[in-house]
Every structure is written in structure tokens, then in C-alpha cells.
Amino acid sequence: MIEQLNIQMVDLKGQYNKIKDEIQTGFDEVINACAFVNGPPVKQFAKNLEHYLDVKHVIPCGNGTDALQIALMALDLQPGDEVITVPFSFVATAEVIALLGLKPVFVDVEMDSFNMDVSKLETAITDKTKAIIPVHLFGQMSNMEALMEIANRHQITVIEDNAQAIGSDFYFSDGRTQKAGTIGYIGCTSFYPSKNLGCYGDGGAMFTNDDDLAHKIRCIANHGQVQKYRSDFVGVNSRLDSFQAVILDAKLKHLDEYVVARNKAAVFYDNAFKDQESLTVPHRVSYSNHVFHQYTLNYKGDRDGLKTALKEAGIPTMVYYPVPMHLHKAYDYLGNKVGDFPVCEYLAEHVISLPMHTEFTEDQLNYIVEQVLSKA
Ligand SMILES: *Cc1c(COP(=O)(O)O)cnc(C)c1O
């Protein structure tokens, strides 16, 4: 009988213990200064993230969903305009499109990378298509070089949903590299606690190299105000607080180490599972590195059975995402049906994500691997 170990999907407490002093000092400073919202730590963090990403503007906001919504609001689209995205993502991506009276149009994903199948993008483009939102799912980027070529040719704006791939690099065929979220017109990210760069509450940001757009986005996030009490745009209230910025700034210094730690765990899993008939380990594309927001297997067997057996062994797993976007009741009105996006529908029934974080011990990884191999 093997002893059960305490395994978590994400170990935020273990990570906190290593950066505790810096965070506590920063918190004291925020309280002393009483600048709780958009205070100096928010500006400092935005500067540091601009430097890290090599992008001209980082505009913090309240959460990742707001980031996507504000990005779309900045484009001045008309009701009924179409925005292309993927059906295999967190609901936020399609939700903001629908919320603004725009029409979400889906393009199926690839079986191996889980990201948009860019070879199917062009057939979804109509004269109403105004924007494309690729989602860099689980920590690996969509094929941005091919996607940008198509978008530019059709003069369509690209907004990257980078909530899961912050820190990831894209490798262009001419040898250039660029950070995820800085290739499209606007990049959006989330600092939700479980994300790779997560705070201890809600947070998000938008990235852009365009000065005028940055100004407009800043205004929209602040009630559309171009100066205090003068609104030129219909806006929203979406801001990052100073405590969250202290945490994010402390973690940003370690982000590259976190990527290494996640990749180490991923390679450990890969080596254990690569010869297991029923499991397909995550594919690595040639044009992007993987920052492993999730380690997601494609499992041929009884997924619910595996999930339950692992749970009994003390190992949490998650299914991201069990319902394809086009099959949610809320999006019935779009008229999509079962069979429209078969790859996404297949994945929704077969993917399973294992614990993935920065704080694993070798014993924990060994235990997880042993248990998965004995049950899968
Ligand atoms: C987390 C996430 C969002 C939303 O971010 P919130 O901060 O929770 O609003 C959007 N898109 C994707 C792909 C996400 O993973």
C-alpha cells in the first residue's frame, strides 16, 4: 500500500512562501501610502512588464475578461460585425463578443496543438469579419505567423487572448522571436490566481505597440475619461489595485524560473506517459515554446473513470473544457450544432489536465505518474 501524498492542482501557498518577504514589504508600503488603486506599484509593474515583453504599452485592468471586452470596445465595431475565435476555450472569449452585440464565429482547433486550425481560418472570413481572437491555449501559442498573414491580407484586426501563455515566445521563420500577446494589434491577459502570472485576487492587462490605441484603451478602462470628468468614449470601470500589483511585480521577477519549473514537470510526465497506448502527451509545435499553463493529455479510455480513480488516490485532475463553446445553451442562438466543430467536440470528451505548478517535489511527481500509469 503506497502512502497518499498531498497533491494540489496548483500550489500557490508553496510559491508564496518563497517570495513572502518581498510581498509583505510591498503591502506595508501600499498601506502607508494609502494609494490603493492605480497607485505607484501598478505603474511600476506595468513598466516592468513592458520591459519583459518588449512592448510599448501595458495597460492594467480589472481582469482578463475586461481586457478582452475593452480591446473589442476600442475597435468601434458595429452590431452584427463578426469576430472569429475558437470553440475550445474558456467561455470569456466568446462572451465578450456576444455582450457587445457582435457575432462570434468559430474556427475549429487542431487535434494536437489544441489551438486554432489556421488552415480553416480563411473560409470563415466574410465581408463582416472585423477581428480575430486566437487563444494561446494551455501555454503554447497559435500559429501567429500564418494567422497574421491572412489577417493582414484581409485587413482584419487581431486580438490575442494571452491569458494562458504569458512569457511564451513565438519563433518567426526569419529568425525573429516575439513574446505572446505582442504580435497582434492588442494582447490581453489575465492575472487570475491560477494563471502563470497570477495575483491574489482579480487582475488583467492589455498590451499594444500603438500609442493612440494605448491612449484610447486607458480612457475606456477609466469610464472613457480623457481627463477627469470628461468622457469622450463610453467606457467601463476596470482597474488593478496596488496590492495585486505588488504581488505581480514580485512574481514577474521569477516568471522565467517558473516556466523552467513547469517544463521540468512536463518533461517528467512526457517521459512517463509517452509509451502508454491510451495517452497522448501534449504536442510541441515548432513555432512556439510551451509555458505549460496546463499539462493536458488526450485520453482514449474512460475519462470519468480515470478522474474518479485518481481522485480516490488523492490526485486532482481537471477537464478544460468539457463543453465546446458552440454547444453552451447561452450560444444556441448562433445556430451552431453538434458536428460543426468535430475536433473541438472530440477534445471536449477526451482531454484531462494533470496537476501543474512550480513547486513539485520529485516524490509528488513520481506518485502522480505511478498512479496515472496504473489507472489509465
Ligand atoms: C482566464 C481566462 C480568461 C478570463 O480571465 P479572467 O481574469 O478570469 O476574467 C479569458 N480567456 C482565457 C483563455 C482564460 O484562460
Q: What CATH number does the domain containing 158 carry?
A: 3.40.640.10
Count of CB atoms situated within 10 Å of the CB of 80: 9
Query: In this structure, are 212 and 294 located in the same domain?
Result: no
Query: In this structure, are 206 and 65 located in the same domain?
Result: yes
CA-only gyration radius of the chain, Å: 21
Could you list the residue range(s) of the whole structural domain that residue 201 is in? 13-107+114-252
Query: In this structure, are 219 and 267 located in the same domain?
Result: no
- Output the pLDDT for position 147: 98
Query: In this structure, are 131 and 213 located in the same domain?
Result: yes
From 252, 275, 309, give the residue that closes a domain: 252
321 CB near ligand 1 (under 6 Å): no
- Output the pLDDT for position 131: 98
Element holding 221 (H helix, E strand):
helix 211-221
| Spacing, Cα 353 to ligand 1 middle (Å) | 17
- Output the pLDDT for position 4: 82
- Output the pLDDT for position 3: 74
* Grid coordinates belonging to 311: 481522485
Query: In this structure, are 26 and 137 located in the same domain?
Result: yes
| Count of structural domains, the chain | 2
| Spacing, Cα 161 to ligand 1 middle (Å) | 8
| Spacing, Cα 252 to ligand 1 middle (Å) | 19
Give nearest CA residue, ligand 1 atom 15: 163
Give me the DSSP letters along 6-40.
---SS-HHHHHHHHHHHHHHHHHHHHHHT--BS-H
Rounded mean pLDDT for each run of 10 residues along the chain, 376 residues in total: 82 96 97 94 98 98 98 97 98 96 98 98 98 98 98 98 98 98 98 98 98 98 95 96 98 98 98 96 98 98 97 97 97 97 98 98 97 96
244 CB near ligand 1 (under 6 Å): no
62 CB near ligand 1 (under 6 Å): no
Query: In this structure, are 238 and 265 located in the same domain?
Result: no
Query: In this structure, are 260 and 241 located in the same domain?
Result: no
Report yes or no: 376 and 306 within 8 Å, Cβ to Cβ.
Answer: yes
| Spacing, Cα 66 to ligand 1 middle (Å) | 9
Give nearest CA residue, ligand 1 atom 14: 163
Report yes or no: 71 and 217 within 8 Å, Cβ to Cβ.
Answer: yes
Query: In this structure, are 94 and 218 located in the same domain?
Result: yes
- Output the pLDDT for position 1: 54
Task: Give every CB contact of residue 268 below 8 A, 6+ residues apart in sequence.
Answer: 365, 369
Grid-cell match 488516490, residue found: 313
Q: Which CATH number goes with the domain that contains 291?
A: 3.90.1150.10
Q: Of 159, 184, 194, 196, whose CA–CA distance to 289 is shortest?
A: 196
| Spacing, Cα 39 to ligand 1 middle (Å) | 24
From 211, 226, 252, give the residue that closes a domain: 252
From 202, 224, 252, give the residue that closes a domain: 252
* Grid coordinates belonging to 41: 506599484
Query: In this structure, are 157 and 262 located in the same domain?
Result: no
| Spacing, Cα 138 to ligand 1 middle (Å) | 11
- Output the pLDDT for position 2: 62
Query: In this structure, are 187 and 100 located in the same domain?
Result: yes
DSSP conformational letter for 335? -
294 CB near ligand 1 (under 6 Å): no
Query: In this structure, are 211 and 264 located in the same domain?
Result: no
Give me the DSSP letters along 49-77.
HHHHHT-SEEEEES-HHHHHHHHHHTTTP
- Output the pLDDT for position 57: 98
| Spacing, Cα 190 to ligand 1 middle (Å) | 6
Query: In this structure, are 20 and 164 located in the same domain?
Result: yes
Q: Which ligand 1 atom is the nearest neighbour of the CA of 137?
A: 13
Residue type, position 361, single letter? T
Task: Give every CB contact of residue 347 below 8 A, 6+ residues apart in sequence.
Answer: 88, 109, 111, 114, 298
Label the pairing between strands 186-190 and 157-161. Answer: parallel
With the most atoms of ligand 1 within 8 angstroms of its CB, the residue from 65, 96, 166 to mutate is 65
Q: How far apart are CA 15 and CA 11, in angstroms?
A: 7
164 CB near ligand 1 (under 6 Å): yes
Element holding 273 (H helix, E strand):
helix 255-273
